[in-house]
Structure formats: C-alpha cells, structure tokens
Chains A and B, each alone.
Chain A
C-alpha cells in the first residue's frame, strides 16, 4: 500500500464514480413485507412453547396425579402392618393389623402348674362316685386311698350318704320281666 495521499485520492475517486452510478438497487420483492416478517419472527421467538392457559392446568393435573400415586403407594405398600386386625375377618387386604407397639412382649417364665379352673374342679360327690366305681371294678385299693389322704371308713359313710342323693339303678326282677 502506498502513502496516505494516494489512498485518499483513490478513495475520493471511487466515492465520486459510484455516487454517479448509484447504489445497486434492491429488488422491490425483497423489501416487500420485510418489516412485518421480522416482527413475526420476533413474536414467534418470544411465544412460549405452550400457552400459559394450557401449561398451568396440565402441570397441576400432572402434579395432583403424581402426588396421589405417591400417597397411595405409601399407604398401601409401605404401611400395611399398621392397620388393626379385625376378629373373625377373612384374611384379605382389608385386614387391619394390630400396631406392633401394642402387642405384649412374650416373656420366658418359669413353668408353673396350671391352676385348675374353678369350673373344672371336682366336687366331693364326683370324687366319691368315681372311687366307688373303681372299687367295684377292683382297681381301687386301700393304698390308693392312703395316697390321696382319704380313709376307707369315712368314705363308706359318705358313699352311703351319696347313695341316697345320687340316682342309682335298681335291679328289679319284676321290672326286668
């Protein structure tokens, strides 16, 4: 490149020549609706993918569905043992389990003779009648009486007395005939 003066001279020359020739004309078709097209592109770019009126309800619906599913999963799967068990109910998902904390802890205790319930206690009557039966069968001896602490003579009195109270089978030849 030469010096500054030559450059300025060339620059001025081209300015004059091309000013006379005019700028290259832009075809009218290129400028038609140009500004409107730019405006549309700008507005399209600023528009959200989904309109707000659609996006918000869709989001809320999805959120509600997910929340409901999570609640159901937690309630049905993760906490089945917390429901109390109903007596007499068939085994099903409706069974309510007893809270684990409320179940009594099992303790290992020294075995003690089970106490005979009062309803099962034998009366003296029953005991005497049974002894009488065993004596008739010949399997009841004096030793057995001594073992339970009962004397024979006393029992006879009781048995006679019991015999009046208890219905006995009378052998009657007349009845048999």
Chain B
C-alpha cells in the first residue's frame, strides 16, 4: 500500500485533523485502511492471529491517544507501524517471561515449543496455501528483528528509511538485517525456488 503511493494519501491529513478534534468516526477511516497491514505485521512478530488482532487493536487505540504527538513530516503508516512494533516487542517480552516462569514451575516437563512455531503449524490449513505456509514457517525461524524487517520490506512495500524510522534503527542496520534475513530465507525456501514456485 505504501509502495503504490510513496507520498501517502492526501485525505489522511483531513482524517487525522478531525480525529484530533475528537471525531472517532474519522479515525475509523484510518483503521479500516491499515487494519490488514497491521494485523499481518503483528502476526510477523507474534506468530498468532488472535494475538496479532489484539495487538493491532491495542496499537490503534494507543495511536489515537497519541495523535497530538504525530508530526506531519513523517507518514502516518510509518508512525503507526512504530507504535505496533513497540507494542509487539512488549508482548514478546511478557511471553518470554511467562514461558520462563512456566519452565521453572514445572522443572520435569519438557521445554514447551515456542508459541510462534506452534501457531504457524496450526495456521497452515487456515492459510490454505502451501507456499504461503512455507514462507510463514521460514519467517518464524528468523530472529525477531530480521523477521520484522523482512515483512515490512517485502509484504508492506515499505522503503528502507520508513523501516528504519518504524523500528528506530539506522538505514545501515536495516540493510544488514535484510541481507541476513534474505540469505536465511533462501536456504529454507530453496526447494520452492528450484521448482519455480518462488
């Protein structure tokens, strides 16, 4: 969506102005435009569609509360993704802590499989696309930062500068993460590449 219109959408300025004045209906227009991208990006972080939906909703609510701090110099989508990324990182930290506590509470039990991978397996039928499932599974094996950068670049069509702003990284760091993620994904999806599916 961002790739189609690098300058953003002009009508967004009017919606943002109205939302700042307390008109929630105007903000709803923005929600409907970016909801799919936000859920998909949240899924990249969390690996769970339910958690992704919840995280995306929370990010939208936070963004509404922080509209007064939004500067028009940057694009609204980039600012929105930044809020979502920070929120998802918090959720992951809590999840890791919870898993750590569960592990110590049941010492005899085997270490539970990370929820992201479990949900990727469960969502394979839901996706109804072997290639798509394969891509998701390969992405879940990437570290969190590389996964986010890869998704933002190739699924949300964001520019490197926008990714850097959203994840609070330098452009060089974004390139580095993207390079490493690309190499790993190529190894994991090698079969699909050989057969021409990817």
Contacts and interface: CB of A to CB of B under 8 A. Distances in A.
A38 B57 contact: yes
Interface in A1-22: 1-2, 7, 10-11, 14-15, 17-18, 20-22
Contacts of A31: 35-36, 39
A20 B175 CA distance: 23
Given A27-B126, A34-B31, A14 B61 contact: no
B135 to A, nearest CB: 7
A22 B39 contact: no
A26 B126 contact: no
Given A24-B135, A43-B24, A34 B61 contact: no
A39 interface: yes
Contact of A24 (B27, B56, B127): B127
A42 interface: yes
A25 B132 CA distance: 8
A42 B23 CA distance: 11
A17 B24 contact: no
Interface residues of B, number: 43
Contact of A27 (B49, B154, B179, B183): B49
B61 A24 contact: no
A20 to B, nearest CB: 8
B182 A30 contact: no
Contacts of B49: 26-27, 30
Contacts of B56: 34
Indicate the member of A7, A24, A34 with the most B CB atoms within 10 Å.
A24
Nearest to B180: A1
A30 B39 contact: yes
Contact of B179 (A10, A35, A38, A39): A10
B83 to A, nearest CB: 13
Contacts of B50: 30
Contacts of B176: 1
B20 interface: no
A34 B57 contact: yes
Contacts of B126: 27
Contacts of A25: 127, 129, 132
Q: Most B CB atoms within 10 A — which of A1, A7, A41?
A: A1
A37 interface: yes
B155 A38 contact: no
A174 interface: no
A48 interface: no
A45 interface: yes
B32 A35 contact: yes
A42 B64 CA distance: 8
A47 interface: no
A155 B78 CA distance: 136
A14 B65 contact: no
21 contacts: A1-B180, A7-B175, A7-B179, A10-B183, A11-B153, A17-B193, A18-B135, A20-B198, A21-B131, A21-B198, A23-B155, A24-B132, A26-B36, A26-B39, A31-B35, A34-B39, A35-B35, A38-B57, A38-B60, A39-B24, A42-B24
Interface of A: 1-2, 7, 10-11, 14-15, 17-18, 20-27, 30-31, 34-35, 37-39, 41-43, 45
The 9 nearest A-B residue pairs measured at CB: A18-B154, A35-B31, A38-B60, A30-B53, A23-B155, A34-B35, A41-B61, A1-B179, A35-B32
